[in-house]
Amino acid sequence: MSLLQISEPGGRPVRRTARKRAAGIDLGTTNSLIATDVDGEVLTLADADGAHLLPSAVHYRADGATVVGAAAKAQAVADPANVIVSVKRALGKSLDELTDSGDYRQYRFDPECDPASPAFITSMGVRNPAEVSADILRTLVLRAEARTGEAVEGAVITVPAYFNDAQRQQTRLAASLAGINVLRLLNEPTAAAVAYGLDTEEQGNIIVFDLGGGTFDVSLLSLQKGVFEVLATGGDTALGGDDFDRAVAAWLAEQCGLGGMESIAARDYPALLQAANRAREALSEAEQAELSWNGASFTLTAAEFAELAAPLVRRTMLACRRVLRDARMETSAIDNVLLVGGATRMPLIRRAVADYFGREPLQDIDPDRVVAIGAGIQAEVLVGNKPAGDFLLLDVNPLSLGIETMGELVEKIIHRNTSIPVSKSQEFTTFKDGQTAMALHVVQGERELVSECRSLARFSLGGIPPMVAGAAKVKVTFQVDADGLLSVSAEEASTGCKAEVQVKPSYGLDLDQVEQMLKDSHEHARADMAARALREARLEATRLTEAIVAAFDVDGELLEAAERAVIDRALHALRQAMAEENAALIEERTEQLNHASESFAERRMNMTVGAALRGESIDAIDERTE
């Protein structure tokens, strides 16, 4: 199976195009990199000083110069308000989210700005997160152009797997501000797998464990002869090396008698974090590290650090467990674990990962560079420099998508963690006789009841020819494309009348919300199933009682008094059951009423058919028999 049609049926020749300069960009919270083809191999590029990692820091200087990278980061302590760091975390966030998080306490935000799209006040004027990101992207592209002597014609830019639509749009906006043609946004763990998938012969199930500065992604991929598929993803958009730094900074503040982190002056905060970061990175190589603050020195041992870090490490392990559970897989089914992101250099992370999965993680490719390299390889394929070969790149749908059915129930059409792109159809029908329109409500979530899911869109299908309830055939198709965009269409079979809607399922949803929805669905699974059964039973009972009452009105004279009494008794018993919370009882009495009214229904059916035949015009019969 291949998603890419290489040649058309009939075997017409495919024109060969000249090579295009393509690049892969890892736009990181802490560090960013660019990779491109160098003599037939995709490699990350270094700056003039030999550094591959570009610190994701931008200094807007009072003299009007924009400085990006290590030189900017070095000024973070001296000029905290004008050196923007960790801007990736601000992409797609509201002003409240930024001020509440505490990550951006050293900055001032423009009071005039739309709270939905906040902007930093710098000595060079107001800059929003997309503009700051654009300065980083531009620096990387200039690096590639200087090194290769060619213009970069297209780039693949990576984003965390759980970036929502707003965050992805902001990333695209940043690229367009930097004048970059975006070939595709690619999830970071997927990019890492691309790098490994093509560089090695590995097969089997692979966990990509990516702990960077600000985000944590864990993905489960299945790799078979160069074909790989993302089976499940999870993680935390607010967990990374920065959090380990904050834990050490809090410890340092306590040692200095500064009190809690809240009481530290905003201008001291970056320096405190830098001291913590240096000590933490030193602990990757040594058993203890020295920290000094205001002239006083402190020693942090690896054991003490392990204690401070334990809650964070535990969070990464819980995310791994969830991903495996989603895929219904045991750790024993995992063949390889890839470490990605600078923070996986911490020995305690490596140990925890090795312990949990029962094997040593792979680290053949530099964990700092692997994402950019994978993005670079994908970019080469997308511009046509490299053949796509047989490999497919599949992502997954993070939450189930479905439709509201009668009784405010959810019918899931595309289940959570289904590989995308995907298209699935299901047939629905009308509930009432003569119903000519159908209201469609598209929802997202794992719960059984509509009220517990997220509403994505509503639309309606009109023009259904009047028929008896249950006779119309409406095919509802859900299609999710490679970018996660959902299209829903509904089509009535006999007339072909159609309605459709497009939605972005991830819009405005961040990882915490996704996680909360999953947690709720697990906690409520049993109760939800019971509630669903009850609603379905009541719905069927309502349909039947209404139909019988309507039939009494029209054809009541077909029944003898004794026959009528039997049906009335069954009707009464069912109505009593409907008032109770017992699905099984309702079902049983529905069945009894069905049975009691069987011969009445038969008699009516014969009458109706007879009437219809008698009422039919000769013309219509002729037409039908022609």
Instruction: Pick the stretch among 191-199, 209-217, 387-395, 452-460 that binds Mg ion (CB under 5 A).
Output: 209-217
Which of 118, 129, 197, 212 contacts Mg ion by CB under 5 A? 212
Q: Choosing among ligand ADP, Mg ion, none, which partner's interface includes residue 190 (Cβ < 5 to 8 Å by kind)?
A: none
For residue 178, which of 231, 133, 243 has the smallest C-alpha distance?
133
Which of the residues 302 through 341 are near Mg ion (CB under 5 A)? 341
Instruction: Confirm or reject binding of residue 80 to Mg ion (CB under 5 A).
Output: no
Which of 28, 69, 241, 505 contacts Mg ion by CB under 5 A? 28
Q: Choosing among ligand ADP, Mg ion, none, which partner's interface includes residue 343 (Cβ < 5 to 8 Å by kind)?
A: ligand ADP
Q: Which residue is nearest to Mg ion (CB)?
A: 212
Q: Which run of H or of E encompasses 261?
A: none
Q: Which is nearer to ligand ADP, 192 or 443 (by Cβ)?
A: 192
- Residue 185's alpha-carbon distances to 155, 375, 378, 604, in angstroms, are 9, 9, 10, 62
Query: And the tokens for 558?
Result: 């077909």
Q: Choosing among Mg ion, ligand ADP, none, which partner's interface includes residue 235 (Cβ < 5 to 8 Å by kind)?
A: none
Q: Choosing among Mg ion, ligand ADP, none, which partner's interface includes residue 398 (Cβ < 5 to 8 Å by kind)?
A: none
Helix and strand counts by DSSP (H, E) for the chain: 15, 27
Q: Choosing among Mg ion, ligand ADP, none, which partner's interface includes residue 29 (Cβ < 5 to 8 Å by kind)?
A: ligand ADP
Spell out the residues 6+ positions from residue 366 whose beta carbon is closer than 8 angstroms to its own. none
Q: Per-residue b/e over 504-537, b at no fewer than 16 CB within 10 Å?
A: bbbeebbbeebbebbebbeebeeebeebbbbbbb
Q: Which is nearer to ligand ADP, 212 or 505 (by Cβ)?
A: 212
| Shortest Å, Cβ 29 to ligand ADP | 4
| Tally of CA atoms within 13 A in the half-sphere of 275 that contains its CB | 23
Question: What DSSP line would sit under 65-106, residue for residue?
Answer: -EEESHHHHHTTTTSGGGEEESGGGGTT--HHHHHHHSTTTT
Q: Which is nearer to ligand ADP, 79 or 242 (by Cβ)?
A: 242
Distance CA 343, CA 242 (A): 9
* Strand ordering across the sheet containing 66-68: 66-68, 57-60, 83-85
| Shortest Å, Cβ 268 to ligand ADP | 20
Q: Choosing among ligand ADP, Mg ion, none, which partner's interface includes residue 86 (Cβ < 5 to 8 Å by kind)?
A: none
Instruction: Pick the stretch among 37-45, 194-202, 206-214, 402-410 that binds Mg ion (CB under 5 A).
Output: 206-214
# residues near Mg ion by CB under 5 A? 3
Q: How many CB atoms lie within 10 A of CB 485?
A: 16
| Shortest Å, Cβ 443 to ligand ADP | 33
Q: Which residue is nearest to ligand ADP (CB)?
A: 241
Q: Which is nearer to ligand ADP, 139 or 215 (by Cβ)?
A: 215
| Shortest Å, Cβ 445 to Mg ion | 29
What three-state secondary structure class fits 244? helix
Distance CA 20, CA 151 (A): 9
| Shortest Å, Cβ 210 to Mg ion | 6
Distance CA 332, CA 324 (A): 11
Q: Which is nearer to Mg ion, 196 or 269 (by Cβ)?
A: 196
Q: Which residues bind ligand ADP (CB under 6 A)?
A: 28-31, 212-215, 240-242, 277, 280-281, 284, 341-343, 345-346, 368
| Shortest Å, Cβ 467 to ligand ADP | 57
Q: Choosing among ligand ADP, Mg ion, none, which partner's interface includes residue 214 (Cβ < 5 to 8 Å by kind)?
A: ligand ADP
For residue 182, which of 116, 130, 240, 234 has the smallest C-alpha distance?
130
Q: Which run of H or of E encompasses 301?
A: strand 296-301
Q: Which is nearer to ligand ADP, 339 or 403 (by Cβ)?
A: 339
Catalytic residues, by residue number, are: 26, 88, 188, 210
Q: Which is nearer to ligand ADP, 172 or 345 (by Cβ)?
A: 345
What three-state secondary structure class fits 354? helix
Q: Which is nearer to ligand ADP, 280 or 454 (by Cβ)?
A: 280
Q: Which run of H or of E encompasses 119?
A: none
| Shortest Å, Cβ 46 to ligand ADP | 15
Q: Choosing among Mg ion, ligand ADP, none, which partner's interface includes residue 368 (Cβ < 5 to 8 Å by kind)?
A: ligand ADP
Distance CA 119, CA 85 (A): 14
| Tally of CA atoms within 13 A in the half-sphere of 182 that contains its CB | 22
What three-state secondary structure class fits 550? helix
| Shortest Å, Cβ 462 to ligand ADP | 50
Which residues in this chain contact Mg ion in the complex, by CB under 5 A? 28, 212, 341
